[in-house]
Structure 1
Amino acid sequence: MPFRFSHLCQLLESLEEIERHDPPLLRDARRDRVQKTVVAWFRVHRRSIDAPDTDRVALLSSLFPERRTDRVYLLQAPRLLQAIARGLELRSEKLATLNRFKSPGNGDLGDCLARVLKVHDAEPRLGYVSVEEVDAVLQDIASKVRFSSPAVRTRKSLSNDSPGHLLAAIVRRLKSFEAKWLVRMILKDYAPVVLDQQHVLRCFHFLLPALLKFQDTFEAAMHLIQGPLGEFPSSPDPRSQVVFRKQAAELLRPQIGVKVGRPSFHKARSLKDCLRTVGSRKWAIERKYDGEYCEIHIDLSKGPDCIQILSKSGKDSTQDRQGVHGWIREALRLGTSECRFKRTCILLGELVVYCDKERQIQAFHKIRKHVSRSGSFLGNDADSQAHEHEHLMIVYFDVLMVDEEITMRLPHRQRRDRLRDLIVKKRGSAVTAEWKEIDFAQVTAERTLVEQFACALYDRCEGLILKPSDAPYFPLDNAGDWRGFVKLKADYMIDMGSDRDVADFAVVGGSYDAQQALKSGLQNISWTTFHIGCLINKEAVLRFQARPSFRVVEVIHQEHCIPKPDLEALNRLGKFRQETDSLHRKFDLCPVRYPIPPMDVVFRKPFVIEVLGSGYVKPPNQDFFMLRHPRVIKLHLDRDFTETTCIDELSSLAEKARNIPEGSESQETGRLVKKIMANRRERDERSSMRTTPQSTASTSPSLRRRTPVSHRAESTQLPKVWIDTTKTLSSHECVVEVSRGAVSPLQVSATQGERAFHPPPLSSSTRENSIEHRNTKESQPTTRPQKRTIDVAADQCLALSARKKVQKTASNADLPPLSPRTILRNSASRLTGIWALGNG
């Protein structure tokens, strides 16, 4: 029987309870609970999942709606609210409840819909809703949107119902909490629940993660599981899994028209991190070009329509990239006797814009003038027209299949040899990525890597990609020590220092997004998105105290872009600076163009943040350059907005970063190599200083103050004096026993007598100078014993001074050494003076 949608909602509801546990669970404890919950859910529903009449593609699409990039619904939260309200014919008060998701503290649209439908949970339903029904409705909605993939649009149903009526027919049969998850499924965001994709896929079928590596669609993967791999159980024991994986690896092959998965990438945060990852193996160093990833499938049996181009997300963009079809035919010699394959081929490349006039690759943002999105050119309202001397070019860097040969199983150097044989290179139309092999077992490997990195940055490439020379594209049987690829970029590397693209900006306002708020992990968050601006009249503000005027240049969302402490500070301090009335603003704001969204509040005094980016790019529909992929490094509360980057300074920074330096290549690369190596050595020195053993390093007083009592035997040996307090101190008649002990400071033991020796509390100056004051205070007994030990609360320098006097007197030939009685009398008189000073 079909799989019930309520079963899926129960899993998501349980995971949400774990994420919203109060008090919040620790990360490891939360992860363990989530994994146990997922495993238990699959164990309970295993029979239904594996049933022949269950549409497992629909179930996987429901578990991971974000992977269905081929489906576009055009239903963001505001439009989805209107569609549901019309379909359910909600009254005004319930519509107002739905609109509360736009305000902080009310949850997202799914939470608000659940509140509206909560009163109807007790009403009978007309049968249960299955996952297959929900998937069919979403397929019907997506098939009518032109931004969906061609395969989705071809399966268009005959129904002319609006999305609101289609969804209303489903929502009326759902309970309130089930409707909440349906809304989040349409928005392709289950936040605050984030499913561990690899773990869930392994629980679904142990081969599914490996299958999606080379056939990255649920339809193709399930076709294999239900076909050639149908005899394998879904969840065998670990020992059997090893055998089954080896058997499955022999049956697997890429499929024309189905996107191949991508290997995992490790982002090297420093040169040391990169070297630790690569080890002592041979790696191929390949330049990373700033373009759009494309996967080219060739099937000669289709005649003129033999070319298919897939984007990074897996969407079919063949028609949108018609400008490179001719270059592909020419490079591969299609339709000629010189073509190096007979039937099929899969190639990987980077789509860039090349300028014949400048004879170099152009900036990333110029691609949108040559590539449409489902037939429309988006984001180029402020761009110039495409020039005749600018055109698309493909930089090929890998080949995955040639006819029956699965080249992705070959080592990298052999794949590059096959690629060289396939491609006819021509400057401006088809080239291969520059690469070099480095043996990291050699002592010169580190410097060679840095030199290659510096040369790539000089030529305005994004960075480098490191690929194992002796490893396949990715192993199909998960064997060996394959670690994936390493990505080396300037904005990742802390060794770059000031050469990274960093600038200070003013935070002029903020806005709230309900879905972003669920991902933040913060309670009572007011703003999730912050609008950063630049002064357009900075000189007038500084010289003549003119009214500031800002231009919003970017918005930064909290997810992965703002450190959590800074996000908390902005939400906490922003409440004292927010201004909703435009009449009371202390600065002006220039009109903004789409896609920059409007802000909810304006901060009377803008905050100052330090922002890191990956180069400079012209944002869509804008006429200025801005940092690409901006991320907040730090919030500076000690800086004023007049110290931030103005719009003219931003333009100068972008021009400097985009243009090749005026100096020679050798000078610029040499300077960068020296800087990276120097920063590497400096970090290593600081790291070695932090890891120096305490016995060989100088110990601060704060560390010595916390030294355990058992370790104080290593300290200076000071006199230990025993006093019989049955005699009064004024008579100085003491029975003295002096011994060399490990007591610090001077420790006096006394028996209970007529006038016991009770030291008064220390003065503030004495307390600060006393190194062992805390330990001596904690060591005092709470009850007075018959014979007790009294720690004389004196400065350690007093005891050391007494000891030095003894040594000095003993070394003097003219004077006899002082007796212990004299030493004690002098010490007692000094202590009496200190206590009198403290009490006075």
Structure 2
Amino acid sequence: MPFKYRHLVQLLEELDAARKQAQFSSTRHCKPADELIISWFGQHDSEILRHGPSAVAFLSCLLLGRVPHLVYGLQEKSLASVLCKALFIENTTRGRQLQAWEATGLDFATCLEKCVMALSENDSSPPEREVTLEEIDDVLRQLAANSRFACPELKNRRDGVKAEVLLRSILSRLHSKEAKWFVRMILKSYSPVQIPEHLVLGCFHFLLPDILPFQNSLDEAIKILGKPELISIPYDPPNALQRKYRQECARLVTPKLGVMIKRQEYGKARSIRHCCLMANTRTMSVERKYDGWYCQIHIDKLKGKDCIQLFSKRGKDSTKPWVPLHPALEAGLRLSEPDCAITQNCILEGEMLVWSRSRKSIMPFEKIRKYIQYNGRAIGAAADSPRSPDEQLMIIFYDCLWHDSQNLVNEPHHMRRQRLEQIVSVTEGVAQIGEGREIRFGSASAKEELRKFFGHAIEQRWEGFVLKGRRDPYLSINWNANAIKLKKDYIKGLGDAADLCIVGGRRDAAEAEQCGGSPNWTAFYVACLQNKEIVQRFGSKPEFLILDILTRQTMSEDTFRELNQRGLGFCLPYSDSTEQMDVNIDQPDIRRQPPTVLFTKPFVVEVTGAAFTKPSDVAYYTLRFPRNVRLHFGRPLTETHSFEELQEMAKDSLTPAGPEEQEEIDWILRLTEADGKRDQCVDLHAGGTPSPSRVSTASISICTSSPLTASRGGAMGVHPTHSSLSSRDVAVNHDGTLSPSTASNHGPSHPLLPADHVELVDGSTALPVSINHTFGPELGVKRKREGSSLPAVAHKRPRIDTAKRALIPLGSSLRRQTSPVHPYQPPAVFRTPTTTTDQRFSASIERQPLSELKNVRTKHGSEKHSTSLAECVAHGEKNAGRTMDMHAENRSFATHPGSSSTTRSAHSLDDIILTVMSSSALSLQDVKSVNRVTMVFVQLVDKPYSKSVRNTIYGTTKAVLKEYKRQRDAEREWRLERCSNDHASQPQPSQQQRRMILFYDEKMRTSFSDSSLDSLKGAGDILRNQQVKKYFAGGLLITVHADRDEVISRAIWYWRESVRLLDELQP
């Protein structure tokens, strides 16, 4: 018996009533939606047919997202015209009210119910004429077949009947409430009602959720349930029998050519540490995530020349629109060659991209749309550049799910990858296999290895990573076996951010209904200034360009509520030009839905996105997927990014950094900071700076440059060719030296593992922790030495003797293979702790070797005289009153009684910076007059918002490194020559120097011509001064240690960040 449509309307009305009750009553008990659905299925159990076309119609009408191939080409505006013709109200008051539905404050379907249908209700139909779901499904399928967007399988059903005629046969028998839900069905959304898909599928038949992942089509899934072997299985058997029935179904369910397989599910990693927790101890294939169009490729060689069938991410058959991709597929799979690895059929996954032959690189995401045409037209490419003969479509393959009638969905990933490599013929720019490498997350070095690899990926402007378990199947029912997505914008504080303005709002009635009907606006329009410089100089009327629309899902509930409350005080009806501002809209999608109000006082907001992209039909860049909106009250409009600045930011964000920029180091440090304080690595971040007490296991030199090689887990696919970091695992002690694990990891690989290696669950191996671990002095836990017979503390590893530890700087280990400690290092010098004094020259009393002392007691009074080489430089840092000229003119010497020679002066970071700063810097006299704090310098640049600032910063960093290393080498040679007869070696106590260089616009020179310079005293005061704040272009934090050769640099791009760093830097 066909299922009555009024029963479905009953369920939808109950769900809507329960939703409203839950919103308006926090104390009154309301029935959850799940209970309502389960109860409704039980009530109509005898009327629901679970096999045949009736079952497909039932599910298609209930789950609108499960029929992506039904595209009607009707939205509110066009549907209003069709409904007026269907109801014969074209030139009536009701018809005009329906076409002006937005003015009613109701959503389109509710307007039809209350303003049109309720005024002239249809008579109740007799039971035999009641509308059924089968009738509605037939009408909707015919409507989709007659549409110009019809898929190939529906085009054969075209009959030329007009849409108003098809809909009239249904609308003439519906009441107003039923018509409301029917219209929402055409619009493919029951909003504000949400129907839980998995619950509905399980209530319909307990096997349906298990079948759909393999054949992601309701029609095909219902056919499987109708097979003789399964048709007798009850739809809801006892729990004890469900496992047996599922095993029986599993033998019959396999992928089918021409039916899309459900895409793999992913978990989102919010940091490197979170990613490692999600990976657990699995060995993961860390693959590059490509920014292109997803393709599922079905190959059936029995069809001859038409053997290729393509499916998009949403499950639509895109074979015909994506014809330009077919040559790349034929070449990559060798379909016309005798050595083709596909004899019968195949199902592959890949990404469609655009390749530039001249640049030898993949082009941005927005380049794809001009090569794909729908009905003879490239959608969204009106403002794009013409097709270039230098560019071509290519395919990146990354999985194989079916090969020659063999199901690979349940096979482990490494086997599917091997099969993929056998099938694909790799040709650069035509068909390739995704880049990647394997990482054993059961090993101690996995986190650092992933962090370095991800830092390289960000530097190269990859979209991110996809991590797949080596032994995991494609489809898994266990959440801990899912694949993982890791993207820069998933990590808090690392996405591309821009300061913009919210200039207007719009209220969508359906969206407002979901929020309880209370918000004044449900969408907010974010824009940038187009005349920022004129506004700054002359206070002219601002001119805005609307860039995107922010909805409730892109911001927190507090921000959404705040915008709705504060906007009421200064809003006016939308107009392109008002007394307060001018507003431009270039994007057609936004022009079709302009704001309804403008805010006379725009909100200044910080918006985060996933890189930049060019929207449809425009030639400029905007943030992609803008979200995480943060309000900044009290800030003027001129502190936001202008249109030109936004375009410059976009180009920098999308252009891979050159090897000379050493940007990879900066990203690795920011990733370390994002892991939080528990992570034992350098604590650096976009919003912070390292302190001496927090620097621990990963001090990274900026001068390293070596290829990124595969990990010990094995290589796979095509590897990145160049990276500024080595992929060799480097474990660093808290004092900056290498742990013994580094030396062992850099040695030759052995085919057989020793017996003391650990076998992990997934088959990977990890070195024993006792070999890899060294302890810093702050841990303070007693451990027995290796070879000792004393009992060890519970759960503590034995300490390795100090003589066995490899004390090698990290910078050297990254540049070359680990080598033994130089036998001619200077001897150990033991000094008592010293306090900073104001003496210009300090002497150090000579210490005798330890073997010549009766004990190691500290000599009293030595605090007044002893000063280490590095501590002479630290005076300026600890005493903020000492000016820079003291560092430039004074030198500290340490003399030893009985010796006529003096030690070389410690290399002052201040002297080095003054030496390398370019001619565009402030003169030394200027620095003396305005910079009381010796830790801060000022550099002037011509173009504050261009790539030249970045180049200047990185150039300064390299110059400081070069000069610092030169002085270090000269001192080392002198010390080796002086101490050639000594044999012991002990590094000096680590003394840290930190200096900040602030980069300003050249225009700031005018600030120094003012006679009243009191407000500009000190670089810190300059940074905070409102008059020169607008000239800020960037900053650079440089950190060095007296006992190390590396220079740690930190680029700063935001004024607020510089202020916070300065507060930490100054005493």
Q: Specify if TM > 0.5.
A: yes
After TM superposition, give the deviation of residue 445 of structure 1 in Å.
0.7
Q: 1:262-303: per-residue Cα shift (whole Å, max 9, x none)?
A: 122111122232222211222211110000000110000001
Answer yes or no: is 1:527 the counterpart of 2:526: no
Give distance in 1, aligned partners of 2:630 and 2:240. 49
Give distance in 1, aligned partners of 2:238 and 2:25. 31
Distance change >3 Å, CA 606–CA 421, structure 1 → 2: same
What SS does the corresponding residue of 1:219 show, helix, strand or coil?
helix
Give distance in 1, aligned partners of 2:672 and 2:302. 54
- What's the counterpart of residue 218 of structure 1? 218
- What's the counterpart of residue 566 of structure 1? 559
What SS does the corresponding residue of 1:273 show, helix, strand or coil?
helix
Contact 2:412/2:473, CA 8 A, preserved across alignment: yes
Q: TM-score, normalised by structure 1?
A: 0.77
Distance change >3 Å, CA 445–CA 178, structure 1 → 2: same
- What's the counterpart of residue 312 of structure 2? 311
What SS does the corresponding residue of 1:165 show, helix, strand or coil?
helix
Give distance in 2, aligned partners of 1:374 and 1:304. 22
Give distance in 1, aligned partners of 2:52 and 2:396. 46
Give distance in 2, aligned partners of 1:581 and 1:341. 60
Contact 2:672/2:679, CA 8 A, preserved across alignment: no
Give distance in 2, aligned partners of 1:53 and 1:662. 61
Amino acid at match of 2:555: I
What SS does the corresponding residue of 1:313 show, helix, strand or coil?
coil
After TM superposition, give the deviation of residue 23 of structure 1 in Å.
4.8
Give distance in 1, aligned partners of 2:50 and 2:254. 26
After TM superposition, give the deviation of residue 239 of structure 1 in Å.
2.0
Give distance in 2, aligned partners of 1:224 and 1:111. 42
- What's the counterpart of residue 495 of structure 2? 500
Contact 1:465/1:488, CA 8 A, preserved across alignment: yes
Contact 1:531/1:554, CA 8 A, preserved across alignment: yes
- What's the counterpart of residue 46 of structure 2? 47
After TM superposition, give the deviation of residue 592 of structure 1 in Å.
2.4
- What's the counterpart of residue 80 of structure 2? 81
Distance change >3 Å, CA 557–CA 382, structure 1 → 2: same
Contact 2:51/2:222, CA 8 A, preserved across alignment: no
After TM superposition, give the deviation of residue 100 of structure 1 in Å.
6.4
Amino acid at match of 1:407: L
After TM superposition, give the deviation of residue 432 of structure 1 in Å.
0.4
After TM superposition, give the deviation of residue 20 of structure 1 in Å.
0.9
Contact 2:292/2:353, CA 8 A, preserved across alignment: yes
Q: 1:216-247: per-residue Cα shift (whole Å, max 9, x none)?
A: 11111111111252222111122211111111
- What's the counterpart of residue 601 of structure 1? 597
- What's the counterpart of residue 71 of structure 1? 70
What SS does the corresponding residue of 1:81 show, helix, strand or coil?
helix
**More displaced stretch, 389-398 vs 14-23:** 14-23
Correspondence for 2:531 among 528, 537, 540: 537
Distance change >3 Å, CA 573–CA 580, structure 1 → 2: same
Distance change >3 Å, CA 387–CA 27, structure 1 → 2: farther
- What's the counterpart of residue 182 of structure 1? 182
After TM superposition, give the deviation of residue 522 of structure 1 in Å.
3.9
Give distance in 2, aligned partners of 1:55 and 1:461. 47
What SS does the corresponding residue of 1:308 show, helix, strand or coil?
strand
- What's the counterpart of residue 792 of structure 1? none
Distance change >3 Å, CA 53–CA 330, structure 1 → 2: closer
What SS does the corresponding residue of 1:84 show, helix, strand or coil?
helix
Give distance in 2, aligned partners of 1:241 and 1:600. 55
After TM superposition, give the deviation of residue 4 of structure 1 in Å.
0.8
- What's the counterpart of residue 488 of structure 1? 486
Contact 1:115/1:176, CA 8 A, preserved across alignment: no
Answer yes or no: is 1:144 the counterpart of 2:139: no
Q: Which runs of 5+ in 1 are unaligned?
A: 686-840
Amino acid at match of 2:550: I
Amino acid at match of 2:447: E
Contact 2:51/2:223, CA 8 A, preserved across alignment: no
Structure with higher helix content: 1
- What's the counterpart of residue 236 of structure 2? 235
After TM superposition, give the deviation of residue 514 of structure 1 in Å.
2.6
Distance change >3 Å, CA 684–CA 106, structure 1 → 2: farther
Give distance in 2, aligned partners of 1:640 and 1:79. 42
User: What is the root-mean-square deviation in Å for CA atoms of aligned residues?
Assistant: 2.3
Correspondence for 1:511 among 506, 515, 537: 506
- What's the counterpart of residue 468 of structure 1? 469
Give distance in 1, aligned partners of 2:370 and 2:615. 13
Contact 2:491/2:674, CA 8 A, preserved across alignment: no
- What's the counterpart of residue 156 of structure 2? 154
Correspondence 1:574-723 to 2 at 5 A: 574-580=567-573, 582=575, 584-597=578-591, 598-664=594-660, 667-682=662-677
**More displaced stretch, 89-98 vs 166-175:** 89-98
Give distance in 2, aligned partners of 1:167 and 1:526. 34
- What's the counterpart of residue 382 of structure 2? 381
Contact 1:105/1:524, CA 8 A, preserved across alignment: no
Amino acid at match of 1:63: L
Contact 2:460/2:657, CA 8 A, preserved across alignment: no
- What's the counterpart of residue 791 of structure 1? none
What SS does the corresponding residue of 1:110 show, helix, strand or coil?
helix
- What's the counterpart of residue 713 of structure 2? none
Correspondence 1:376-455 to 2 at 5 A: 376-455=377-456
- What's the counterpart of residue 791 of structure 2? none
Amino acid at match of 1:517: A
Distance change >3 Å, CA 35–CA 451, structure 1 → 2: same
What SS does the corresponding residue of 1:351 show, helix, strand or coil?
strand
After TM superposition, give the deviation of residue 307 of structure 1 in Å.
0.7
Q: Which runs of 5+ in 2 are unaligned?
A: 681-1067
Contact 1:609/1:632, CA 8 A, preserved across alignment: no
After TM superposition, give the deviation of residue 125 of structure 1 in Å.
2.0
- What's the counterpart of residue 547 of structure 1? 541
- What's the counterpart of residue 785 of structure 1? none
What SS does the corresponding residue of 2:499 show, helix, strand or coil?
strand
- Point out which structure has higher relative CO (alpha carbons under 8 A, 6+ apart): 1
**More displaced stretch, 179-188 vs 266-275:** 266-275
Contact 1:507/1:533, CA 8 A, preserved across alignment: yes
- What's the counterpart of residue 352 of structure 1? 353
**Which entry has the higher C-alpha Rg, 1 or 2?**
1
Contact 2:545/2:583, CA 8 A, preserved across alignment: yes
After TM superposition, give the deviation of residue 22 of structure 1 in Å.
5.5
**More displaced stretch, 111-120 vs 36-45:** 111-120
Amino acid at match of 1:492: Y
- What's the counterpart of residue 130 of structure 2? 128
- What's the counterpart of residue 364 of structure 1? 365
- What's the counterpart of residue 295 of structure 1? 296
Give distance in 1, aligned partners of 2:206 and 2:644. 56
**More displaced stretch, 179-188 vs 90-99:** 90-99
